[in-house]
């Protein structure tokens, strides 16, 4: 079978939730403080786990973290952390929970300095690829932009957000488009423009 004849998704085939995420969200541009804070938090929670685990818990994460509205999350305190550590609906990791709260506080500090997370995040977008990737071998796990993003966000107080997590967030939020050329999403784009 040649690469051109593969029509499987880049990932997610066989699980309706995963397929829907791949087809409608992954690689689609995301803007706004709460949606970006959510993606940063979920990428951090995913560290060491499979993405489908996070997707299955996403609604609970949205509930317990107040829709990822930065001010609401930043206002969470130790009793909230303890409550979340007892909530089996989410990934119960103290460092990741505390990092999410700390990252929301870092977003508010950005606002106080006259910046937005949206502007900062998107300032690291690389130029678009000239053509889709043809294989997973061409897919990176970090990039110069993700290294720079992670370094900048760390200086601004963000936690649990290294270069690999930053690159995964860039993929998830549409700063980079790593859909393979043979992916149905890319093939559908071609049929819409052709």
Is 99 or 138 the better-scoring residue by pLDDT?
99
Residue 178 scores a pLDDT above 50: yes
DSSP annotation of 6 reads -
Helix (H) or strand (E) holding 117: helix 117-122
Q: Which of 21, 26, 38, 145 is catalytic?
A: 21
Q: pTM for this one? A: 0.92
User: Which one is catalytic: 33, 43, 145, 167?
Assistant: 43
The Cα 97–Cα 108 span in angstroms is: 17
Distance CA 84, CA 151 (A): 28
- Quick: pLDDT tens for 95-124: 999 999 999 999 999 999 999 999 999 999
Reply yes or no on whether 51 is catalytic.
yes
pLDDT number for residue 6: 45
Which tokens hold the place of 87?
A: 């909530």
> Known catalytic residue: 43?
yes
Confidence of residue 3 (pLDDT cuts 50, 70, 90): very low
DSSP, res 125: P
What digits encode the pLDDT tens for the residues 65-83? 999 999 999 999 999 999 9
Q: Exactly one of 26, 33, 38, 51 is catalytic; name it.
A: 51
| Residue 91 to residue 49: CA distance in whole angstroms | 10
- Give dist(CA 98, CA 101) in Å, integer: 5
Active site residue 26: no
Rounded Cα gap, residues 15 and 100, in angstroms: 28
Non-local CB neighbours of 114 within 8 Å, separated by 6+ positions = none
């Amino acid at each position: 079978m040649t690469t051109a004849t593969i029509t499987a998704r880049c990932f997610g085939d066989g699980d309706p939730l995963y397929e829907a995420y791949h087809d409608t969200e992954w690689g689609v541009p995301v803007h706004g403080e709460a949606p970006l804070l959510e993606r940063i938090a979920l990428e951090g929670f995913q560290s060491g786990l499979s993405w489908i685990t996070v997707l299955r818990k996403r609604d609970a994460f949205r509930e317990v973290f107040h829709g990822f509205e930065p001010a609401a999350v930043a206002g969470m305190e130790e009793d909230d952390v303890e409550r979340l550590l007892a909530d089996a609906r989410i990934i119960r990791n103290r460092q990741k929970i505390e990092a999410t709260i700390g990252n929301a506080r870092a977003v508010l500090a950005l606002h106080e300095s006259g910046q937005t997370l949206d502007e900062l995040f998107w300032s690291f977008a690389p130029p678009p690829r000239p053509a889709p990737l043809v294989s997973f071998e061409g897919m990176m796990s970090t990039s110069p932009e993700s290294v720079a993003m992670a370094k900048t966000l760390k200086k601004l107080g963000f936690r649990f957000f290294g270069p690999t997590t930053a690159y995964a967030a860039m993929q998830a939020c549409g700063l980079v488009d790593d859909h393979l050329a043979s992916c149905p999403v890319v093939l559908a784009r071609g049929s819409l423009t052709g």
